[in-house]
Chain A
Amino acid sequence: MEHRSSIEIKTEWDIVAARQLGRNEAKSTGFGTVDQARITTAISELARNIYLYAGKGRIEIVPITVGVRVGLLITATDEGPGISDLQKVMTDGYTTSGGLGAGMPGVKRLMDDFRVETEVGVGTTITATKWLH
């Protein structure tokens, strides 16, 4: 059965809704408590970035199966300003030192696969997958 669920991010409360959705999906996919917390934190960071920098966007959470592997795919999309210096944003210490949170390197660490597509003035799409080991 095709299973899709997503949350529109417009207010700070939507971040909580995205977290809740992510945790539920992670739990039903079979992730343990710690991985549920990791996935939720990653979703939280992505949703927060949308809220802070793009104003609005969408978080989509989809369980996926590739061969024998089962996982959870998170897609964060926005039509915000885009990221002009991706390399800088992906550098350790860039956001955390300012106390802004785990930042993009943090999301990358929390998940197994991580990909960013961004264009200045057009928007950003981030996809991240966590596999059930």
Chain B
Amino acid sequence: MPQEAGRQYKQMLENYLHSKGEEALYLGQQFSRSFIEKNIAPEDVISIHKTSIEELIKDMPADVSVSFDFLIEMMIHYGLALKEHQSLIRKQEVIQTEMDIAVRVQSTLLQTTTPMLEGLDIGWISKPSKQMNGDYVYFLKETEQEVCLAVADIIGKGMSAAMHMSMVKFGMDSLRYEKRSPFEVLSFINKMVEQSIADSMFISMFYGKYDTENSVFRYSSAGHEPALFYRASEDSYSLLESKGLLLGVQAEAVYEERTVRLEENDFIAIMTDGVTETRTDKGFIEMDVIENLLHEVRLESAQAMVDYLFNELSKMQNYELHDDFTLVILKKTN
């Protein structure tokens, strides 16, 4: 036990016994920090107090003196709890650092670049509600006129979700030169996910391929949110739905494929449930809220539309994301 701390404590205690003033208490409280800094355990503080008071009060009853021994015994476990707490905090710091690294690795592994194509404007956003994003956007420019895109959502959150998403990405990358149809891609990824991912984890995915030459968008869905299609000539919305089970449910699942032809200023909005399940005080929003917001900015660029919708929906839920938020807009320009 540091002698110096004991000497100082005795002095401060003596000061207080004389003055009984607030200032002495304040100094004592300040002094207690140095005890913590020097790692002096609670039981040692009692012991310092006992020694000090025995020196300051010469005729202290023996029972009072002995009572401090009882108190020391009582405080041993408090001292241990404190040490354990400190060690857990250090461990938590290590885990946090690891987590930060993992987040950086994830974003490096999963990064995708927005392809540039003649006649197609692409805008997108993907914001995690927590550290790790369970949503994923993937682009692949197959040829000068064809682009593939996937929007996926892992059911299950956090670290393991993100790790599994990397596997899905590399699965899609492996098909890079094979020019598969959307339904074939989903069926391939489905088999892969079914084989290698834990039973409790499923992925929904919307996969589409757009050909700028004939303006045809082919798409398949694995239990994903339907996409929203805006037909400019009719000024109306419809849903792009396509039948298919979530990825990872059944190895032999088959995926339907559908097509839609785009005309100038038509756009397709592909999203995750973080968008459709925007929660306000009155409950979940309806699809028409999204339709109306997009309608206001339908003449803007795809990226401006995406950013506008994100900002408006964030505002509606007081800038608190309840779920990962992902939205991709494909818009035919000419």
Contacts and interface: CB of A to CB of B under 8 A. Distances in A.
A32 interface: yes
Interface string B125-156: 00000000000000000000000000000000
B84 interface: yes
A109 B80 contact: yes
Interface string B312-330: 0000000000000000000
A93 B88 contact: yes
Contacts of A56: none
A106 interface: yes
A41 B81 CA distance: 13
Contacts of B88: 92-93
Given A33-B69, A34-B72, A37-B73, A106 B43 contact: no
B139 to A, nearest CB: 44
A34 B84 contact: no
Contacts of A93: 84, 88
A10 B140 CA distance: 72
Contact of A33 (B72, B81, B84): B72
Contact size class for B? Answer: 10 to 19
A102 to B, nearest CB: 5
Interface string A72-112: 00000000000000000000110010000110011001100
B83 A109 contact: yes
B43 A34 contact: yes
A95 to B, nearest CB: 10
B83 A37 contact: no
B91 interface: yes
B77 interface: yes
Contact of B76 (A32, A41, A92): A41
B47 A38 contact: no
Interface string A3-27: 0000000000000000000000000
B257 interface: no
B87 interface: yes
B273 interface: no
A74 to B, nearest CB: 16
B77 A92 contact: no
B83 to A, nearest CB: 5
Contact of B87 (A32, A38, A40, A92): A92
Contacts of A32: 1, 47
B263 interface: no
Interface string A26-63: 00000011100110110000000000000000000000
Contacts of B84: 92-93, 96, 105-106, 109
A92 B72 contact: no
Contacts of A110: 76, 80
B44 interface: yes
A131 to B, nearest CB: 15
Interface string B68-104: 0100110011001101100110010000000000000
Given A33-B69, A110-B76, A38 B43 contact: yes
A92 B80 contact: no
Contacts of A106: 77, 80, 84
B44 A41 contact: no
Given A102-B80, A109-B80, A110-B76, A37 B87 contact: no
Nearest to B88: A92
A41 B42 CA distance: 15
Contacts of B46: 34
Nearest to B50: A33
Nearest to B44: A34
A37 B77 CA distance: 10
Contacts of A41: 73, 76-77
A106 B43 CA distance: 14
Nearest to B83: A109
11 contacts: A32-B1, A32-B47, A33-B47, A34-B43, A34-B72, A37-B43, A41-B77, A92-B84, A93-B88, A105-B84, A106-B84
Given A106-B80, A109-B84, 5 more contacts: A32-B47, A92-B87, A93-B88, A96-B80, A96-B84
Q: Would you list the 7 A-B pairs with minimal beta carbon distance, nearest first? A: A106-B80, A34-B47, A41-B76, A92-B84, A102-B80, A37-B72, A37-B73
